[in-house]
Amino acid sequence: MSTKTSTVWIKDLVFDSFVAGHHLTLDAPPAEGKQSLGPSPKALLLSSLAGCTGMDVVSLLEKMRVGPYTFRMDVESDSTDEHPIVYKEIRLSYFFGGADLPPDKIIKAVSLSSEKYCGVSAMLKQAMPIRIKVFINENEVQL
């Protein structure tokens, strides 16, 4: 299976990327006299990781008949100081909320995504460590 995007320079550091039938504006962080018209390419890596693993986790929990629940992910990374400026590591936190949530099933879904299913995670792990934390109703559970 092949994937293709097309990206066109608009102005300054603004680009329009056409991805799977959708337009996405890319830009650099705001600078003096300029506005940020979209996320930076590196920040989108973090968002792509969250989207990939999130889709896995929701799908797996549905198959395990877990629900109802709320779910969000926070993804953070610090950059190196020297060029090329890259992420040193990724910190990925999963937050679940709801009554009577089974920690064993949630941990299994997160682990399966991280270790087997999420292609974005597999690619990024080759470049840097990904540190994972899971919280259920604000309490951290051990993986």
pTM: 0.93
Give the domain CATH number at 69. Answer: 3.30.300.20
Residue 100 lies in a domain: yes
Q: What is the pLDDT of residues 92-102, one digit of tens each?
A: 999 999 999 99
**Does residue 61 sit in the same domain as residue 118?**
yes
113 in any annotated domain: yes
| Domain range for 8 | 1-28
Residue 55 and residue 120 in one domain: yes
Asked if residue 35 is part of any domain, the answer here is no
Distance from chain centroid for Cα 66: 22
Q: What's the total number of domains in the chain?
A: 2
Q: Which whole-number Å values give the CA distances from 1 to 4, 37, in the listed order? A: 10, 32
- Distance (Å) of CA 22 to CA 5, 13, 28, 125: 10, 20, 20, 27
pLDDT in tens, 21-59: 999 999 988 876 678 899 999 999 999 999 999 999 999
Q: Where are the alpha helices (DSSP H) in 68-127?
A: 103-112, 119-125
